[in-house]
Amino acid sequence: MTNLIGPLVLATAAGAAEFLGASLAIAPLRFSRRAILYLFGMSGGYMLTWSIADLMPLLIEHDPGLVTWILASYFGLYVIENLFASHAHLMPAEDPHGHALVDSWGGHKAVISNAACWAAVVGLFLHAFLDGAAIVASFTIHRSVGVLVFVAVMIHKVPEGSSLTSVLGAARQGRRVILTAAGSAVMTIAGGLAAGIIGIAQPQWAYPMLALSAGTFLFIGASNLIPATQKGESRSVVFSVLGGAVLFVLVSSLLSKTGFLHE
């Protein structure tokens, strides 16, 4: 149990980062729209590169059957976000066609239904739970895997918190932002606790839990974060996506040079 304290602390930090992102989106001195897009781009670039170049090969090498778990979580999140959430759209002043899960809300009336809003929130809660589970499960596999997972989770938590605020604001549920953000943070911690408990009882479940998380990482990176940068608002955002990919290479190289990959 002692070995789980560190990963659980990191899962708690990840939950706090999402709460921070949700809070910043409603704070008087919030990030600019362009700054949020840069965060989307860097997060998406890192997550996509890491998922394809490192995480999925690791899982498939261990057991090719884990592909089923990856696809199940990918399509599960896709269904929740796009079917039950009715492909909800926002209409901020500077972009009348923004997507609910990737844009900042700037309107004064409800532009998505409550059903669509809470379906999207359920999807984000599920992803938050798997974020926490991924952090703890990955450290039971190897410390280097755990570090890469933690970095991937942390760099997209602030944008994810902003997305949560966006969805609630679009449905005129702004007063519930802080409470819902706190719930998402708790879900991240709960995911870590669940992974720890399951890992103690059934260590072989670490890989399936990480595979479930891999599917959500791939979906968030490829289908939410990177598409948010493809609207032509700033060509410089392209470099943030590439920067995210470079960040993965740098973190991976640093882990290799410090011996984390061989311990």
- Give the model's pLDDT for residue 199: 74
Domain regions of the chain by residue span: 2-257
Q: Please check the confidence at residue 60 and state whether its pLDDT lies above 80.
A: yes
User: Cα(43)–Cα(240) distance, rounded to whole angstroms?
Assistant: 9
pLDDT in tens, 189-236: 999 999 888 877 677 888 998 999 899 889 988 888 888 888 766 678
Asked if residue 192 lies in contact with residue 186, where contact means CB atoms within 8 angstroms, the answer is no
Q: Please check the confidence at residue 90 and state whether its pLDDT lies above 50.
A: no
Which comes out higher in pLDDT, residue 172 or 96? 172
Encoding tokens for residue 104? 């900042």
Q: Please check the confidence at residue 76 and state whether its pLDDT lies above 50.
A: yes
Confidence label for 25 from pLDDT (cuts 50, 70 and 90): confident
- Give the model's pLDDT for residue 111: 65
3-state secondary structure 76-106: HHHHHHHHHCCCCECCCCCCCCCECCCCCCC
- Give the model's pLDDT for residue 172: 79
User: Cα(198)–Cα(163) distance, rounded to whole angstroms?
Assistant: 30
Alpha carbon 143 to its chain's center = 20
Confidence label for 24 from pLDDT (cuts 50, 70 and 90): confident
- Give the model's pLDDT for residue 36: 76
User: Cα(96)–Cα(223) distance, rounded to whole angstroms?
Assistant: 20
What Cα–Cα distance (Å) separates residue 194 from each residue in 79, 188, 205?
A: 24, 10, 11
